[in-house]
């Protein structure tokens, strides 16, 4: 199955570029390369629809850039990406709402970190950042409690699957194609290009960009570039608020992040359809698409990476806590009641979760920043966790700038 459109007769195609992965990042990259390079782009996707994994299994938050170290790729591309995404949604009548975010300190020890968080946000150019006391935060979220908060009024929510669908149409209108149900089976670099076997078909490209998400490692091995970091999947589970309990949350309520981890902790998030989600946690998954506990299909590959066991030895206490929260609803409720104490167990019902592709280094370090490698004619997106969806259009510009030019 493919999404296609005829090429314009007035357009001179100079390159053939393949993109592996039809998530929001891969589709944004394909669109950018077709637009700025005039390339004939083919997107190869193993699933029967676009955005099947991380793109459609998240909270839908458009992050403003509060958390990321100033000067990092995440900080720069998040801020650029917010502006591009907001304009893109407006241009295509896609839903986008600035509901605002509170990062709430529930203890005095956490409050000491709020000023540093606010300063980091301002350094990243996040507009409207304000530091609030316990009384002022209730003017924003009347049912929330805390000793202080950082308020980001322009943090937004959107429909990332709808954005991905629109990007796929853009690729087709620019003369490219999105080929679904085409799992990549082999990659071979050859003189001046790359040969790819996908499904039952053989493709020859001048350049190949791999935006494989959860499947990054498998595709990288096919390309002969296993690399110094590997994807370790973390399952994020959610509960949804039922009925009138949804009215207890206006926008987004987040905890003060633990600087040791790239995960933000259990938070409360109003979704674009006005569902309110509670979560996610961060439980080590035992399969790259391990949406359920019973899925352990990639256990040997995951625990076989030395970084996985080294990470586990360092963070085992947090790991046990996360597993407990996954199995015991009352633990999840306790985390949510820390910020909205009116919630009860009857207000929460389990809903869909997701799996995050998190790169882990050989020494067990959780890789925080975006990582993109270039190997000959192959560009590999090694690490693109949150805020990758927010940053997708900016990531695409970044990658388009580093894809090797075709020598005429």
Give the lowest-confidence range in 5-19, 105-119, 191-205: 5-19
Within 220-318, strands assigned E span: 229-241, 252-255, 267-270, 276-279, 283-284
Give the lowest-confidence range in 12-16, 166-170, 384-388: 12-16
**Residue 3 above 70 pLDDT?**
no
Give the lowest-confidence range in 26-30, 248-252, 365-369: 365-369
Q: 83-93, pLDDT tens digit by residue?
A: 999 999 999 99
Mean pLDDT of 258-281: 86
**Residue 156 above 80 pLDDT?**
yes
Q: 93-130, pLDDT tens digit by residue?
A: 999 999 999 999 999 989 989 999 999 999 999 999 99
Give the lowest-confidence range in 134-143, 170-179, 396-405: 396-405
Contact between 18 and 44 under an 8 Å Cβ cutoff? The reply is yes
Model confidence at 261, in pLDDT bands (50, 70, 90)? low
Asked, as a colleague might, if the bond just before 176 is cis with ω within 30 of 0, I would say no
Superfamily of domain 100-156+230-361: D-Amino Acid Oxidase, subunit A, domain 2 (3.30.9.10)
Contact between 179 and 196 under an 8 Å Cβ cutoff? The reply is no
Mean pLDDT of 256-275: 84
Residues of the chain with CATH 3.30.9.10: 100-156+230-361
User: Looking at residue 407, what is its pLDDT?
Assistant: 55
CA distance 36 to 282: 38
The residue length of the chain stands at: 408
Using N-to-C axis directions, what is the helix angle for 160-173 and 73-91, rounded to 10°? 80
Residues of the chain with CATH 3.50.50.60: 14-99+157-228+367-408
User: Looking at residue 126, what is its pLDDT?
Assistant: 98
Model confidence at 326, in pLDDT bands (50, 70, 90)? confident
CA 60, distance to chain mean position in Å, is 10
Percent of the chain past pLDDT 90, that is, above it, reads 83
Mean pLDDT of 376-392: 96
CA distance 192 to 140: 57
CA distance 303 to 396: 32
Fold of 14-99+157-228+367-408: FAD/NAD(P)-binding domain (3.50.50)
User: Looking at residue 9, what is its pLDDT?
Assistant: 45
Model confidence at 324, in pLDDT bands (50, 70, 90)? confident
Mean pLDDT of the chain: 93
> What would you measure as the largest C-alpha separation in the chain, in angstroms?
66
CA distance 196 to 194: 6
Nearest to 22 by CA among 188, 157, 166, 159: 166
């Amino acid at each position: 199955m493919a999404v296609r459109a005829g090429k314009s007769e007035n357009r001179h195609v100079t390159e053939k570029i393949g993109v592996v992965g039809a998530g929001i990042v891969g589709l944004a990259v394909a669109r950018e390369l077709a637009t700025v390079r005039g390339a004939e782009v083919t997107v190869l996707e193993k699933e029967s629809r676009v955005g099947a994994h991380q793109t459609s299994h998240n909270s839908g938050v458009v992050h403003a850039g509060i958390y990321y170290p100033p000067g990092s790729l995440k900080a720069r591309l998040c801020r650029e990406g917010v502006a591009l995404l907001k304009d893109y949604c407006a241009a295509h009548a896609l839903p986008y709402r600035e509901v605002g975010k509170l990062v709430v300190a529930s203890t005095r020890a956490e409050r000491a970190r709020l000023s540093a968080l606010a300063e980091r946000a301002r350094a990243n150019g996040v507009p409207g950042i304000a530091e609030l006391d316990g009384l002022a935060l209730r003017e924003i979220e009347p049912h929330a409690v805390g000793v202080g908060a950082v308020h980001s009024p322009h943090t937004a929510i959107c429909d990332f699957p709808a954005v991905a669908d629109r990007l796929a149409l853009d690729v087709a209108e620019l003369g490219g194609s999105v080929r679904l149900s085409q799992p990549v089976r082999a990659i071979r670099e050859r003189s001046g290009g790359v040969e790819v076997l996908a499904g039952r078909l053989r493709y020859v490209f001048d350049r190949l960009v791999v935006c494989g998400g959860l499947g990054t490692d498998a595709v990288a091995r096919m390309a002969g570039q296993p690399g110094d970091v590997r994807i370790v999947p973390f399952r994020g589970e959610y509960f949804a608020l039922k009925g009138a309990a949804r009215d207890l949350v206006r926008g987004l309520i987040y905890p003060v992040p633990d600087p040791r981890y790239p995960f933000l902790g259990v938070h409360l998030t109003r979704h674009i359809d006005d569902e309110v989600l509670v979560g996610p946690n961060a439980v080590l998954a035992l399969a790259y698409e391990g949406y359920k506990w019973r899925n352990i299909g990639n256990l040997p590959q995951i625990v076989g990476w030395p970084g996985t066991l080294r990470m586990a030895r360092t963070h085992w206490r947090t790991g046990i806590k996360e597993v407990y929260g996954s199995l015991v609803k009352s633990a999840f409720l306790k985390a949510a009641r820390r910020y909205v104490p009116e919630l009860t167990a009857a207000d929460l019902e389990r809903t869909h979760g997701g799996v995050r592709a998190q790169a882990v280094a050989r020494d067990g370090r959780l890789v925080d920043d975006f990582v993109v490698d270039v190997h000959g004619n192959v560009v590999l997106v090694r690490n693109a966790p949150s805020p990758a969806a927010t940053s997708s259009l900016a990531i695409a510009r970044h990658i388009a700038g580093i894809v090797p030019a075709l020598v005429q």
